[in-house]
Amino acid sequence: MNSVFLAGLYRELLLAIRDTADVVTPLLFFVLVGMLFVLGLEPMPELLQAVGPGVIWVAALLSALLGAERLFRADYQSGALELAVLSPEPLSLHVMAKLCGHWLVSALPLLLLSPLLALMMNLPTQALSVLALTLLLGTPVFTILAALGAALTVGLRGGGSLLALVVLPLTIPVLIFGSRSVVQAVNGEEVTGLWALGMLAVLALSLGPPAVAAAVRISLE
């Protein structure tokens, strides 16, 4: 099982290296969204600090959805997705390898750039660690929810808009707890949303891969 997972993870990382556009585009989108708000609200640093946490979280969500439609598309068109379903190994193991690879190449660089974007938005230094921790807990949930939507719409033409309609309502609790935790850190208050984000991350990591695997089977049927 470990060899199957590692082989799938290696394959995803290799494909990401070969097709760097899918990796760079969400990252550039994340940075550009933040810079647009910085340039637009630069004369009002207090307002920029107030809306900064929400802007960063919304930008992270939209960046996660930006490349989600292509998550299973290439494997579906090449037949590799059907082979994964027919293989003796659990499909959830293949899905978990794909999700880990996708998170490493798309969400991890975004997480590393988030403190720089936070400083541009005039957020205090004591909030940077909370921002990084909340994104570390929240981005896996975004990845799994985006993969669930991508699996359900992989065989549909123009599935990108439908994917957004399916996924966006499910991300509201993560956005609320994540942005609220950063706002509390900015104001010097006690951060109370980390436990909820942790619970959501545990639920997503435990139930997400089997749910995405079931969605893949439904789409192929």
Digit-coded pLDDT (tens) for 124-182? 888 899 999 999 999 999 999 998 888 888 877 665 667 778 888 899 999 999 999 99
Residue 140: predicted pLDDT: 93
Residue 160: predicted pLDDT: 62
For the chain, domain boundaries: 2-220
Per residue in 194-216, pLDDT tens?
A: 899 999 999 999 998 899 988 88
Average pLDDT over residues 30-50: 82
Residue 158: predicted pLDDT: 60
Residue 157: predicted pLDDT: 67
Q: How far is the C-alpha of 9 from the C-alpha of 13, rounded, in Å?
A: 6
- 70 or 172: which carries more pLDDT confidence? 172
Per residue in 74-128, pLDDT tens?
A: 778 777 778 878 877 888 888 888 888 888 888 888 888 888 888 888 888 888 9
- Alpha-helical segments (H) within 41-158: 45-66, 73-78, 80-86, 91-102, 108-120, 128-152
Q: Are 162 and 78 in contact (CB under 8 A)?
A: no
Q: Are 18 and 12 in contact (CB under 8 A)?
A: no
Q: How far is the C-alpha of 53 from the C-alpha of 178, rounded, in Å?
A: 8
Residue 1: predicted pLDDT: 59
Residue 159: predicted pLDDT: 59
How far is CA 212 from its chain centroid? 15
